[in-house]
Amino acid sequence: MSLLGLHTQERRPTTTEWDDIHRRLGNLPPLHAAAPEADAAVGAEEAGPLPLEERREDCADEDAELQQLRALRLRELKREALAHRYGTVELISAAEFVPQVNHAGEGVAVVVFLFKPRHYPSNYMLVLLERLAKQHPHVKFVKILFTDCIPNYPEKNLPTLLVYRDDDLLQQFVGVSCYGGSSYGIDDVEWELAQSGIIKTELDHNPHAVPHR
């Protein structure tokens, strides 16, 4: 059979309005130019160009969609930044307490750790808080010398945690009895912080419902 009478028609690349938007943003590569004969064939089948007013309306709709995409992406970036803005236990002074804790920002939870240097109960709690800070980077963890935070504060009350949000003191944990005793661990601290509503936990029961020995 002779192939002289047969010919193939190159199809114009298909696209969608969504693809066109992302192509303008640079998220997709440009379309390959269609062959002249394909353009002619497609053009013959189309009714013709849209009226000027309709083209303007289409452009306005596309501009609005682009603005919505940009606004959505900006909100996502802000949420991601807020969710990962902390992650460490920062040392603050008495002069920094109000701006760093009371004025930390709307909705920002702050855990204030009152500690004493070269003090085993304080050192042990710090190790646990550093791990929790990495696991919950949306929560701000700070530490302050107990005498700088509260003059004449009893050393026997260490370690002490104060939980703030929006300038309100939500909870305070004094000593180690609230964690079930001196043999407490990271799960005990996480559970108590979760009960104050500043973090979420996968623990399904209180790990110190029965005090530690």
DSSP line for the chain: ---TT----PPPPP--HHHHHHHHTTSSPPPPPPPHHHHHHHHHHS--PPPHHHHHHHHHHHHHHHHHHHHHHHHHHHHHHHHTS--SEEE--GGGHIIIIITS-TT-EEEEEEE-TT-HHHHHHHHHHHHHHHH-TTSEEEEEEHHHHSTT--GGG-SEEEEEETTEEEEEEESSGGGTSTT--HHHHHHHHHHTTSS-----S-TTSSPP-
Is residue 122 pLDDT above 80, yes or no? yes
In the block, tokens 């020995």 appear at 213
User: Dihedrals φ, ψ of 121, to 5°?
Assistant: -55, -35
Kindly state whether residues 123 and 67 are assigned to the same domain: no
Residues 190 and 93 in one domain: yes
One domain, residues 34 and 74: yes
| Predicted pLDDT at 63 | 77
Predicted local distance difference test score (pLDDT) of residue 3: 46
Return the axis-axis angle of helices 186-195 and 120-135, rounded to nearest 10°.
60
Residue 193: Cβ within 10 Å count: 23
Q: Is 55 left (phi over 0), alpha (psi -120 to 50) or beta?
A: alpha
Q: Are 190 and 132 in contact (CB under 8 A)?
A: yes
Please check whether residues 98 and 167 belong to one and the same domain.
yes
Q: Flag whether pLDDT at 75 surpasses 60.
A: yes
Confidence of residue 32 (pLDDT cuts 50, 70, 90): low
Dihedral sign computed on CA atoms, order 75, 80, 83, 84: negative
Range of the domain at 144: 89-195
Residue 44 resides in a domain? yes
Residue 119 lies in a domain: yes
Average pLDDT of span 180-198: 97
Residue where a domain stops, chosen among 58, 83, 108: 83
Query: Looking at the structure, do residues 40 and 72 belong to the same domain, yes or no?
Result: yes
34 or 15: which leads in pLDDT: 15
User: 132 and 186 share a domain?
Assistant: yes
- Place 193 in a pLDDT band, splitting at 50, 70 and 90: very high
d(CA 20, CA 33): 15
